[in-house]
Structure 1
């Protein structure tokens, strides 16, 4: 916390800036000069009360009462106390200049309320000044009362006693004077605090908006990374397996090697096509929604869309209904695959169907890359309140794949996005590795057609 800030109930008000301090100096000097002019006019008009002091003393008290306004916001406590003391002394000395002195006293009390460094202390200092003023007024009345005569009230005609009327009038006027000085100072301080609160709230809203935007950007980047990984990793893994097979049989079985290389070529084209579609989707101004279907190869030749855009960049729905196509590519890499669907298939929202497809795809990709397996068994179970995906192989179930890799991270993120659970690890009682995901079923509008029949491919 800076030493030049006002502290009150957790709020700090900065000191006045240099421009305001310069304005105060100009105002203080102008008021002092005007008070000296008014003193000259008052003396010239002979408007004296009591026995005034000498002219030099009158000038001294006039300057001391008004000139401190130059520092009314720099040192509001000291200025208010000093001007109040000089005002009382000037009154006791019967200085003829009073109009500007009264204005200086009002400004000093107001400035203390509006700019006091400690608001609680400013309250007590103002209260003490007002109390001192009323004590002075009371003593002045007590001293003046014995010297009053009926001749001084010769024109009195009201129903109230002239002396009582004068006392009440003096007290009432002074109550209004000091009351307004206190009230307007408090009002200025409260308005400044509310302005600060509004600015603080606005700053908090801006910071929250920026933080939310940063989170959205990070979330979008993670989703894009996950989609790119899911789109490319599978095809690259198939290419690696097929290229390895072609290399092993190239000399003794050129025809089989040719088929493997053809599969590599097809997988490469598919991967490039999907990358092209993914990048085309990312060029759109709207962020990729969670429910947006990912890009897949289009079976049709490129054409120009009605809106002038290339349909090659338009996404095509991918979901659990495309699992047979996924297994075809896995089977082409040399794995024996089986797919079973159990329970009554229900329409799934696009996001859930996409998540299920990507989970199975990643599990199959990991089997190709790490498991040295010969069989892959995929089971889709529709329960009453959840969708279960079970992918198991007969490879090396060592648990090596349970912690690392972007693929498993992506699966966990997809499962967590749907409030589901994911189990990964070696199979129990038999060799191999298992991925089991459970995703709660909801009731969205039908988006993609689920698999509705058992299928086995060998």
Structure 2
């Protein structure tokens, strides 16, 4: 965020509504100034000296407040014109000065608050104030020659009357112009802060929109990964079992019946997992999380059993002391094994052996799936299965190795780091 004291920011121009308000205010100030002129002429107290003609008085009186019509639209020009007209009216001894000085006050404040170039507006305000004090010094110098011995005949204070008059005038003008400068600066800073807050709110809105978009994309990826893992595995197993059933249907009805039973169980398992996953997706944040427990590493044996039912000689080995795993790690390990077994059933031509090993090491847990088949096509790094495995492993800072192994066959190996508390138990 840019500092509020920076002068580089340019305040946006006034709205049409603000311009209309300036028009009404400028016209009202002009009318009141003319009324004030009438009252001053009626009292006959011409403090600045003998006034000019009536028409000239009206012109000078109008020239000071009328430019306020454009005060926010053209603050620089307005301040310069009002200042020049004010000094001109003073020089010509126009009796109306009460409202004119407040028009000057408004012009200086507006220049500070609405000047498009804050550095320039600061210099102009200082210049205008310096010019006003210069004119005040000239007026005092002229007035000294007009002071008569009886001008202060009623003075009783300890301060010399001339000095008291000068100090009073200086004090009043210092407060007048000081407040004009201060209010203009304060208004500009307030507008700058409002602008910064609006920018922050807009950045926050965009950030929230991007976060929501990323969350939606992430959820879509997660759903796609889950659907792939659940559907692809069970459908692949059912495809292999259906092919086996077709081959032995006429020759060995008992084996065909066994294969059909396995297909039925695989279909039921797939439906149960889909129902569980959809239950999780529909669940509210404070509601139930769906039916059933998410699949974990303790269900890898069921995957191996289904591979065995599909005709593979499948084995499962667990090495080391089993360690309690975080649920997400356990599920990721299960899905990696499930995807690897699915790939064996779909793509490993001539595979007869499947070996699944789970190793609990000192600081990590390793899962390895190997087979003795021949890949029917090159490994597709952009395939949904491999992409899903990489995403799952990367989420837990693990390592994934996928590729052919020496002597034939294929290997999928993944390592998940164990939490310190879990790793210390081995």
Smaller-chain TM-score bracket: over 0.9
Residue correspondences, number: 418
Q: Deviations over 1:86-119 (max 9, x none)?
A: 0001001000101110110000000000110110
Whole-Å separation in 2 of the counterparts to 1:12 and 1:138: 35
CA distance in 2: counterparts of 1:174 and 1:445, whole angstroms: 79
The equivalent position to 1:377 in structure 2, one of 348, 355, 371, is 355
Report SS of the residue matched to 2:264. helix
Corresponding position: 1:437 with 2:414: yes
CA distance in structure 2 between the aligned counterparts of 1:445 and 1:220, rounded to whole angstroms: 29
Q: How far apart, CA to CA, are the structure 1 residues paired with 2:274 and 2:53? A: 98
Query: How far apart, in 2, do the equivalents of 1:164 and 1:57 lie?
Result: 34
Q: What residue number does 2:130 align with?
A: 131
Equivalent position of 1:292 in the other structure: none
Question: Out of 284, 287, 308, which is 1:331 matched to?
Answer: 308
Shift of 1:274: 2.1
Whole-Å separation in 2 of the counterparts to 1:119 and 1:257 = 89
Q: State which of 337, 359, 383 in structure 2 corresponds to 1:405.
A: 383
1:349 to 319, 323, 326: 326
1:102 lines up with 2:101 in the alignment: yes
Shift, 1:445, TM fit: 8.5
Q: Is the 8 A contact 1:388 1:437 kept in 2?
A: yes
Q: After TM superposition, give the deviation of residue 10 of structure 1 in Å.
A: 4.8
Q: For residues 7 and 43 of structure 2, what CA distance do their matches in structure 1 show?
A: 52
2-structure distance, mates of 1:27, 1:402: 75
Correspondence list, 1:46-65, <5 A? 46-49=44-47, 50-65=49-64
State the Cα distance separating 1:143 from its structure 2 match.
Answer: 1.8
C-alpha distance after superposition, 1:372-396 (max 9, x if no partner): 2111111111111000111111111
SS in 2 for 1:121: helix
Q: 1:257 to 1:212 in 2, by over 3 A?
A: same
Q: Would you say the 8 A contact 1:281–1:315 is kept in 2?
A: no
Question: Aligned match of 1:39 in 37, 40, 46?
Answer: 37
**Equivalent in the alignment of 1:389:** 367
CA distance in 1, matches of 2:167, 2:131: 18
Where in structure 2 are the equivalents of 1:312-323 lying within 5 Å? 313-323=290-300
Answer yes or no: is the 8 Å Cα contact 2:10–2:116 preserved in 1: no
Distance in 1 (alpha carbons) for counterparts of 2:234 and 2:191: 65
**Contact conserved, 1:425 with 1:433, CA < 8 A, in 2?**
yes
RMSD: 2.1
* Per-residue deviation, 1:341: 1.2
TM-score (norm 1): 0.87
Tell me how far apart the structure 2 counterparts of residues 399 and 264 of structure 1 sit (CA, whole Å).
Answer: 26
| TM-score of the two chains, using structure 2 as the length reference | 0.93
Provide, for residues 24-51 of structure 1, a one-character-per-residue CA deviation record: whole Å limited to 9, x for no partner: 1001001100111111111111111311
Partners of 2:148 and 2:376 in 1: how far apart?
A: 117
Which runs of structure 2 are paired with 1:250-329 in the superposition (5 Å)? 250-286=249-285, 313-329=290-306
Q: Could you say which residue in structure 2 is the equivalent of 1:25?
A: 23
SS in 2 for 1:13: coil
Structure 2 counterpart of 1:248: 247
Deviates further, 270-279 or 380-389: 270-279
Question: In the TM superposition, what is the alpha-carbon distance from 1:440 to its structure 2 partner?
Answer: 0.2
User: Structure 1 residue 255: deviation in Å?
Assistant: 3.2
Of residues 150-159 and 264-273 in structure 1, the stretch that sits farther from structure 2 once superposed is 264-273
Distance in 1 between the 2:63 and 2:120 partners? Answer: 24
1: CA distance, partners of 2:309 / 2:9: 71
Cα 1:389–1:111, aligned 2, differ >3 Å: closer, same or farther? same
C-alpha contact (below 8 Å) 2:363/2:420 kept by paired residues: no
Q: C-alpha distance in 2, partners of 1:125/1:244?
A: 92
**Do the aligned residues in 2 keep the contact of 1:339 with 1:377 (CA within 8 Å)?**
yes
